[in-house]
């Protein structure tokens, strides 16, 4: 790990970038160099149409955009804003479930991969259920009533 002076320096020196902000405007400069080279970009903030973490430049480099649910297309400014202006095509957007169901048969497109999650409570419940079951199986954790 090394210190970075700003978001631009961080993006340039990282293969994976994960953001979780409620920013109303992109937290990175609109510079496609920041997103080039086949990076993995994950946005888990910006869950309303007014919020946006990433600039248009990301989509110039993105070979594939994955979403947790189709609702992301109408919920996050990260997708609504650039799509409405024709910055990129819906054709490169796929639900993550397609990848999971395809197994090893998935063919990756060249370029940077962007995963956008707006969250869905059923995912949180499933994760909690899975952790509880694994904890019980391995004898870890403490079960208590609230």
Lowest mean pLDDT among 35-44, 47-56, 119-128: 119-128
Residue 144: band (very low, low, confident or very high) from pLDDT cuts 50, 70, 90: low
* 28 in Cβ contact with 54 (< 8 Å): yes
Give the single-character DSSP code of 113. E
What residues does each domain of the chain span? 7-138
- Taking the C-alpha atoms of residue 42 and residue 51, their distance in angstroms, rounded to an integer, is 15
* Residue of 78, 18, 17 lying closest to 47 (CA atoms): 78
Fold of 7-138: Rossmann fold (3.40.50)
- Taking the C-alpha atoms of residue 131 and residue 11, their distance in angstroms, rounded to an integer, is 32
Q: Which residue has the tokens 């609109």?
A: 30
* 28 in Cβ contact with 11 (< 8 Å): yes
Share of the chain above pLDDT 70, in %: 91
Q: What are phi and psi of 45, to 5 degrees?
A: -100, -155
- pLDDT, one tens digit per residue, over 126-137 is 777 877 888 888
- pLDDT, one tens digit per residue, over 16-29 is 999 999 999 999 99
Choice between 112 and 145, residue whose per-residue pLDDT is larger: 112
Choice between 122 and 56, residue whose per-residue pLDDT is larger: 56
Grouping H, G, I as helix, E, B as strand and the rest as coil, residue 116 is strand
Average pLDDT of the residues in 80-105:
87
- Taking the C-alpha atoms of residue 51 and residue 81, their distance in angstroms, rounded to an integer, is 10
CB-based burial, 16-31: b 16+ in 10 Å, e otherwise: ebebeeebeebbbeee
């Amino acid at each position: 790990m090394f210190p970075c002076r700003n978001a631009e320096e961080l993006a340039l020196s990282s293969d994976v970038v994960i953001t979780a902000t409620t920013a109303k405007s992109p937290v990175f400069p609109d510079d496609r160099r920041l997103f080039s080279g086949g990076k993995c970009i994950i946005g888990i903030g910006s869950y309303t149409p007014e919020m946006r973490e990433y600039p248009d430049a990301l989509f110039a480099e993105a070979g594939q955009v994955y979403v947790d649910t189709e609702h992301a297309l109408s919920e996050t400014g990260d997708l609504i804003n650039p799509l409405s202006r024709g910055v990129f095509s819906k054709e490169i957007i796929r639900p993550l479930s397609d990848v999971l169901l395809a197994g090893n048969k998935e063919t990756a497109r060249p370029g940077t991969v962007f995963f956008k999650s707006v969250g869905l409570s059923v995912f949180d419940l499933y994760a909690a259920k899975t952790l509880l079951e694994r904890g019980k199986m391995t004898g870890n954790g403490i079960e208590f009533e609230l």
